[in-house]
Amino acid sequence: MPINVPFEIMVRDDVDSLSEAVVDVLEKRLAERVDHGLTKPLGLATGRTMEPIYSALVGRLKSWPDSLLDSLLDGWSSFNLDEYVGIGDGYSRSFCTYMKLHLGIELGLTPEQLSIPNGLADNPFKEASRYRQDLERSGGLGLLLLGLGSNGHLGFNEPPCGPKEACRVVSLSASTREQNSFAFGGNLTDVPKRAITLGLSEILAAEEIHLVVTGEAKANILSSFLNSSCSDHLPASWLKIHERVVVWADQAAFKSF
């Protein structure tokens, strides 16, 4: 069935070849960053989808000549999408720890270079506002990597969510807490009930967006996303108003087409 969507869809056989293809683009953009002094921070996601991508990216960057890699890392600035409220640095399940493990330690990046909301802040509402202002001062997002939640969320923008929502504290839905309980040893009660997330407004203001969707479990939501018009009930559908989106999928997620 032909799909009428306003963006490119890149499909690869499996997760490995898809990750390498995404990293081809990332590597090119990062090299341009060094060459042309591009300053807008990267936007980064967490989750299982991103793990093979960060692993491939680290491998690729480590093969760069030292001087090029040093220039890239000296100028590195990224902002993550989200963090749970109540956990953070020092907590094994936090997105802060995830980023340290998958990117920070491997590449020698400092916490200041890898920005992420502080889930341990005394006042999460003030923290969300600080994070939004920090991103604004840094010029907003350049290239943004996104995963897709099983209910169509981006970051932690749970349905219903409109395109003007900004960085804020949100309550997580039962289905999202269930989806993410794998990272808490399967203990649903350990999954925090709230999070701080960049909103769709900061996401849609990114210069270029790459949405990555893998695995059979995402086939239904990918199909709904590709076939739906923009609706608050499927937050990811608002990507259709952005001019530079690429959707990356493996065959397992894309199979229903």
What is the contact surface with ligand GLP in residues (CB under 6 A)?
45-49, 81-82, 147, 149, 155-156, 176, 180
CB of 96 vs ligand GLP, minimal distance in Å:
13
Supply the DSSP string of 33-100, one letter for each residue: HHHHT--SPEEE--SGGGHHHHHHHHHHHHTS-HHHHHHHHHT--EEESEEETT--TT-TTSHHHHHI
Closest CA to 106 of 68, 60, 146, 143: 60
What is the CA 28 to chain-centroid distance, rounded?
A: 19
What is the CA 170 to chain-centroid distance, rounded?
A: 17
CB of 53 vs ligand GLP, minimal distance in Å:
10
CB of 210 vs ligand GLP, minimal distance in Å:
12
Q: Is 82 a catalytic residue?
A: yes
Q: Which is the catalytic residue, given 83, 102, 118, 153?
A: 153
Question: CB-wise, 34 or 202, nearer to ligand GLP?
Answer: 202
Q: Which is the catalytic residue, given 127, 158, 165, 202?
A: 158
Q: Which is the catalytic residue, given 83, 102, 127, 151?
A: 151
CA dist 2 and 88 (Å) reads 44
Which residues, other chains included, contact 50 with Cβ-Cβ below 8 Å and sequence gap of 6+? 44, 102, 145, 147, 212
Closest residue to ligand GLP, judged by C-beta, is 147
Question: CB-wise, 75 or 208, nearer to ligand GLP?
Answer: 208
Q: Is 153 a catalytic residue?
A: yes
Question: CB-wise, 113 or 173, nearer to ligand GLP?
Answer: 173
CB of 93 vs ligand GLP, minimal distance in Å:
12
Token pair for 30:
């990062």
Would you please indicate which residues are annotated as catalytic (active-site) residues? Answer: 82, 151, 153, 158
